[in-house]
Structure 1
Amino acid sequence: MPDDFEAIVQYHERTKHHLNRYAAGPGQLDWATQPDPFRRYTGSEHLPLSLAADRITLPFSALHQAGHVSSSLLDREHVGILFELSMALSAWKAVGQTRWALRCNPSSGNLHPTEAYLVCPDLPDLPGGIYHYLSLEHLLETRARPGAGWDAAWPGKGVIVGLSSIHWREAWKYGERAYRYCQHDAGHALAALRYAAATLGWQARLLDGWGDADIAALLGLDRAGDFADAERETPDLLLWIGPELMAPDPDDLLAVLADARWQGQANRLSPQHRLWPAIDAASEATVKPRISSEVQKAAQSELPPPAPIESAVPATRIIRQRRSAVDFDGVGGMSRNSFFQLLDLLLPRPQLPPLDALPWAPRVHLCFFVHRVQGLTPGLYLLARLPEALPSLQAAMRPDWLWETVPGCPAHISFRMLLPTDMQSAARLLSCHQDIAADSAFSLAMLAEFETPLAEGPWRYRELFWECGALGQILYLEAEARGLRGTGIGCYFDDAVHDLLGLKNRQFQDLYHFTVGEPVEDPRLSTLPAYPAA
């Protein structure tokens, strides 16, 4: 354990971008080895899923009200909707003869290292088994048919969705830092699934007790013969999704799976690969054992309900129109009340997606560079997502910050002004000189409690990035609901942010940047339907 702790800290330090140098990357893209964005299992039985999400007409604002959505029937059609609103294609973009797919779940560089699997008992029109989800064709590929006793191992109504990562897909473009981005993407996918489940009136919870070896065995990722020379997948996480929060015991499922009939051969994504030993070392250092499941702190239930947003836009439209902004106009912003509502939704509440899927209390806090929020002084601000964290954040930072309460901000939101000043140049510089961090309404840096969680287990490193990704998904969808657009920023100068804030050690670390504003659309791009034949 101490060796793994040092190994992941070493990885984190070596993959930081600095003002005078960037983390090790490929230098230039080798288009001959560009990975296939779609994993397939050839020889597996296909189960097509219907495109039925348009039948859901509830407004996006309904997802902010606990218990507001009635539970849908757990069957093949609604499982199809679950994937359609989370892991499916949302559109195709085209320039001339070149086109590429967009998906509901965001990904660094649109590379999509995250693969999704369904594990289920017998459902109406859907036999029990293990399936891989193929987003290109919106279908399930059968991986395994379990033997007798499978349904008896399921104590409640629900399914399991498993996520894995193909690190090579990110490393092809981003090099050593790609392991971080794979974890961001897993967090985005987790939150996307939770939002999709909420539209169906279903609950979702991360099955944090399962170890990586358990997940690999359940999803068939440890079956070397099924991959041969294809790129291997690393287990990430399991989500329990359904009307009831009664998930099966790992031993019960795995015991029955011992007699399963497996099928399918994974496709090879690239003809050649460049090796990135640092990623392998990070992955090995963060292997998670089976642990006792956590219980979210009850204190979070003391928060008042979030203020409703005034929007009748359907949740399905918001989810499917999500895009990453490539440019902002540098003029448009948002109102102070809308900004405070958004802050409130970054706090976890029971039965409110997506943060209720995470079983731990907040470990990630947000440093805001406010540029264009009407009624709010431009400057540097801090949101402590857990009020108890405010003293430690204050003690860790520069002693000359103001830490003033913000007029008009609800008292239960621990939002403080550190410095009233124009932060556009600083935001641009710290996010690798990118204008999108300065031309927006606001940008932010996600500061994670770092050494303390990692001391509990090096695998917590992954969870910190998952939490960042989940927060990013909130920002994406809430921006769309307000007529704005967001984008995640994975390129930033880690230690320069720490220096600005006065952080002297690894108690807190900057793990993700994000920005929200008025987008500028590229007129050269054409938008095509996700599934033209539908």
Structure 2
Amino acid sequence: MNEQTQTVINYHHRTKHQLERYAKGPETLDWDDQPDPYRRFAGCESVPLPEPGAELPVLLTELDNPQAIEPQPLTLKTLGLLLELSFGLSAWKQYGPDRWALRCNPSSGNLHPTEAYLINTDSSLIQPGVYHYVSHDHHLERRALFTADLDNAGILIGLSSLHWREAWKYGERAYRYCQHDIGHALGALRYAAAALGWSVELLAEYADDDIAALLGLDRLEDFKPNERESPDVICRIRTTADASSFGIDTLSEIQQSAAWSGRARSLNAYHMYKWPIIEEVSAAAAKPRTEEPHWQAEPQPVVNSSCRQTATAIIRQRRSAQHFDGKTTLPRADFFRLLSAVLPGRKPPFDLWRWPAKVHLFIFVHHVEGLAPGLYALPRAPDAIEPLQAATLADFDWQPVSDILPLYHLYMGDCRQIAKSLSCHQAIASNSAFNLAMVAEFNLDDQPWTYRRLFWECGLIGQALYLEAEAAGVRGTGIGCYFDDSVHEIFGIKDDRFQSLYHFTVGTPLEDTRIQTLPAYAHLQK
């Protein structure tokens, strides 16, 4: 094991929650020190986007066959809609004097460490250059202008993480949550693009340094020292089926022709707590240039949904449930639809994923029609079944439940209290229809950057569950707080071959009528 991989492994074990103690975090939450949730740059030209809120007629269920969706033309209006549905505001909430925004891309604690950038090479759209998207104002800030005549390679979306936003509340474990949020953001981008008839290509070969140079994140003088962004991913948006390829030469040409402007405004935080381990693991998990496969799963059987809502409606109504009623039974057909949506396949969001599945599900079923309460497993790759059986309790029976899904019954019994205790004693894990743990094949193979990729895969799964839960008339919630090794003990996992990286719960929500819901962009209307 090389030194960087060991640093990542050490970080993972150090940031586990234990029954007798939680991972290191702030002793108190200093609300005066909370970072501004909206990054803005001073000294940049602002580029307005068309008014948000446009609807598309495409149903969510039509995304099961994305190739059949008629592509929308690439215009400033459709570009703005892509950004809004991926990273924009979905609503405002108000309780008494407190008011906060929700976004289309979920974030743990609603802290939103993910920043989104547009790289445009199409001179018929807007001036070719690098633009930062400001979700609050639904406009672009032009960070760089490309001075050379470039071949039109279309548009790209870059994502970065501002770790401090998450660490302010969650301390050392925040790096994990930032990676979850990148996965959610990738999923949100893929669903939004699919509704427009477009596809997303994950340009996985590029190094973090390449992405930093392209997005201007390596211009350290443009950022306050404790508020710099870490590069994560770059994606090519394909608006037509015959879009040209995007190679490393194109990337270098773009970088060399950029004239930069602007500096990041302070996030108005004085950084009471410092978490140096986050910078250590971030450096250790930095990705170099690599050769990556263009792997894609075989087509999966489609489990039909009765939902007749549009994709845009479902995307904008997605919420994280705060409380469940603890008694409503989820129809079996909806449960199977939810599980089928997270299997690798040739439909959003997993058709952008370039690697075999490494994350599998262990499901605590509480209230699902036709299924006995207990523990079930959904291996997301056929070759994972035997290793999972070997790594878990010999008492599990591994009996197939369905002819269309790789769902296995393991243990029969009421698991509500177990689920609640494992999820940091949170009732949302026990009062739901089901609660699950995402368990990853934890072999980094001296490629420490793949640690991040495991969390991204979990975030993609979470995004599919969020939207499909809304389509089924219920609601989901991602759970980042759980007792890691206690989860492993319940399943019988005794070593690092498998590790639980994310939890999720789905049920019938209880609405708090004291909280008002307000339109997402009413504040922009004159």
Q: TM-score, normalised by structure 2?
A: 0.97
2:67 alignment partner, SS class = coil
Query: Do the aligned partners of residues 228 and 168 (structure 1) sit closer, same or farther apart at CA in structure 2, a change above 3 Å counting?
Result: closer
How many Å separate the matches in 2 of 1:341 and 1:14?
37
Q: CA deviation at 1:126?
A: 1.6
2:66 alignment partner, SS class = coil
Partners of 1:207 and 1:293 within 8 A in 2: no
Query: Do the aligned partners of residues 280 and 374 (structure 1) sit closer, same or farther apart at CA in structure 2, a change above 3 Å counting?
Result: same
Q: 1:415 — aligned with what?
A: 407
Q: 1:436 — aligned with what?
A: 428
The Cα offsets for residues 482-504 of structure 1, whole Å up to 9 and x where unpaired, read as 11000000000000010011101
Q: 1:187 — aligned with what?
A: 183
Partners of 2:118 and 2:156 within 8 A in 1: yes
Q: CA deviation at 1:303?
A: 2.7
Answering whether residue 274 of structure 2 is matched by residue 269 of structure 1, we say no
Q: CA deviation at 1:324?
A: 0.5
How many Å separate the matches in 1 of 2:224 and 2:162?
15
Answering whether residue 192 of structure 2 is matched by residue 199 of structure 1, we say no
Q: CA deviation at 1:345?
A: 1.3
Work out which of the residue numbers 456, 472, 496 in structure 1 matches 2:486. 496
Partners of 1:74 and 1:242 within 8 A in 2: no
Query: 1:504-515 residue pairs with structure 2 within 5 A?
Result: 504-515=494-505
The code of the aligned residue for 1:427 comes to A
The Cα offsets for residues 108-131 of structure 1, whole Å up to 9 and x where unpaired, read as 100000000001112534221110
Work out which of the residue numbers 204, 210, 230 in structure 2 matches 1:208. 204
How many Å separate the matches in 2 of 1:124 and 1:149?
13
Q: CA deviation at 1:348?
A: 1.6
Query: 1:410-489 residue pairs with structure 2 within 5 A?
Result: 410-411=403-404, 413-451=405-443, 454-489=444-479
Q: 1:285 — aligned with what?
A: 284
Q: CA deviation at 1:349?
A: 1.5
1:149 alignment partner, SS class = coil
Answering whether residue 120 of structure 2 is matched by residue 120 of structure 1, we say yes
The Cα offsets for residues 289-323 of structure 1, whole Å up to 9 and x where unpaired, read as 010122114xx22433x122112111111100111
Work out which of the residue numbers 343, 349, 355 in structure 2 matches 1:354. 349
How many Å separate the matches in 2 of 1:166 and 1:34?
13
The Cα offsets for residues 64-95 of structure 1, whole Å up to 9 and x where unpaired, read as 12312111111211110101111001111111
Q: CA deviation at 1:521?
A: 0.7
Query: 1:330-369 residue pairs with structure 2 within 5 A?
Result: 330-350=326-346, 352-369=347-364
The code of the aligned residue for 2:366 comes to H
The code of the aligned residue for 1:433 comes to H
Q: CA deviation at 1:508?
A: 0.5
Q: 1:22 — aligned with what?
A: 22
Query: 1:239-318 residue pairs with structure 2 within 5 A?
Result: 239-243=235-239, 244=241, 246-273=244-271, 274-297=273-296, 300-304=297-301, 306-318=302-314
Answering whether residue 400 of structure 2 is matched by residue 401 of structure 1, we say no
Partners of 2:303 and 2:336 within 8 A in 1: no
Partners of 1:230 and 1:269 within 8 A in 2: no
1:455 alignment partner, SS class = coil
Partners of 1:75 and 1:126 within 8 A in 2: no
The code of the aligned residue for 1:521 comes to E
The code of the aligned residue for 1:303 comes to Q
How many Å separate the matches in 1 of 2:31 and 2:252?
41
How many Å separate the matches in 1 of 2:351 and 2:184?
14
1:372 alignment partner, SS class = coil
How many Å separate the matches in 1 of 2:94 and 2:52?
25
Q: 1:144 — aligned with what?
A: 144
Q: 1:49 — aligned with what?
A: 49
How many Å separate the matches in 1 of 2:150 and 2:255?
8
How many Å separate the matches in 2 of 1:246 and 1:64?
25
Query: 1:130-141 residue pairs with structure 2 within 5 A?
Result: 130-141=130-141
Q: Which is worse superposed, 28-37 or 53-62? A: 53-62
Q: CA deviation at 1:147?
A: 1.8
Query: Do the aligned partners of residues 459 and 123 (structure 1) sit closer, same or farther apart at CA in structure 2, a change above 3 Å counting?
Result: same
How many Å separate the matches in 2 of 1:29 and 1:530?
27
Partners of 2:392 and 2:492 within 8 A in 1: yes
1:334 alignment partner, SS class = coil
How many Å separate the matches in 1 of 2:339 and 2:55?
31
Q: Which is worse superposed, 124-133 or 281-290? A: 124-133
Partners of 2:92 and 2:519 within 8 A in 1: yes
How many Å separate the matches in 1 of 2:429 and 2:472?
19
Q: Which is worse superposed, 395-404 or 246-255? A: 246-255
How many Å separate the matches in 2 of 1:16 and 1:270?
30
Work out which of the residue numbers 499, 517, 523 in structure 1 matches 2:513. 523
How many Å separate the matches in 2 of 1:246 and 1:377?
51
Query: Do the aligned partners of residues 205 and 77 (structure 1) sit closer, same or farther apart at CA in structure 2, a change above 3 Å counting?
Result: same
Q: TM-score, normalised by structure 1?
A: 0.95
- Considering only aligned residues, what root-mean-square deviation do their CA atoms show, in Å? 1.4
**Identity of counterpart residues, as a percentage?**
52
Q: CA deviation at 1:375?
A: 0.7
How many Å separate the matches in 2 of 1:467 and 1:108?
16
Partners of 2:122 and 2:155 within 8 A in 1: no
The Cα offsets for residues 392-421 of structure 1, whole Å up to 9 and x where unpaired, read as 100111111110111xx234x211000011
The Cα offsets for residues 409-453 of structure 1, whole Å up to 9 and x where unpaired, read as 234x211000011110100000000000000000000000002xx
The Cα offsets for residues 145-193 of structure 1, whole Å up to 9 and x where unpaired, read as 11213235x2xxx421000000000000000000000000010001000
How many Å separate the matches in 2 of 1:26 and 1:483?
37
How many Å separate the matches in 2 of 1:272 and 1:207?
36
Partners of 1:397 and 1:501 within 8 A in 2: yes
How many Å separate the matches in 2 of 1:480 and 1:302?
24
Structure 1 unaligned regions, length at least 5: none
The Cα offsets for residues 469-517 of structure 1, whole Å up to 9 and x where unpaired, read as 0100001000000110000000000000100111011000000000000
How many Å separate the matches in 1 of 2:97 and 2:387?
54
Work out which of the residue numbers 382, 386, 391 in structure 1 matches 2:381. 386
Q: Structure 1 stretches (4+) deviating beyond 3 angstroms?
A: 244-247
The code of the aligned residue for 1:249 comes to G
How many Å separate the matches in 1 of 2:125 and 2:400?
55
The code of the aligned residue for 1:288 comes to K
2:237 alignment partner, SS class = strand
Q: CA deviation at 1:201?
A: 0.3
The code of the aligned residue for 1:289 comes to P
Partners of 1:484 and 1:517 within 8 A in 2: yes
Query: 1:36-185 residue pairs with structure 2 within 5 A?
Result: 36-151=36-151, 154=153, 158-185=154-181
How many Å separate the matches in 1 of 2:89 and 2:472?
23
How many Å separate the matches in 2 of 1:52 and 1:67?
26
2:37 alignment partner, SS class = coil
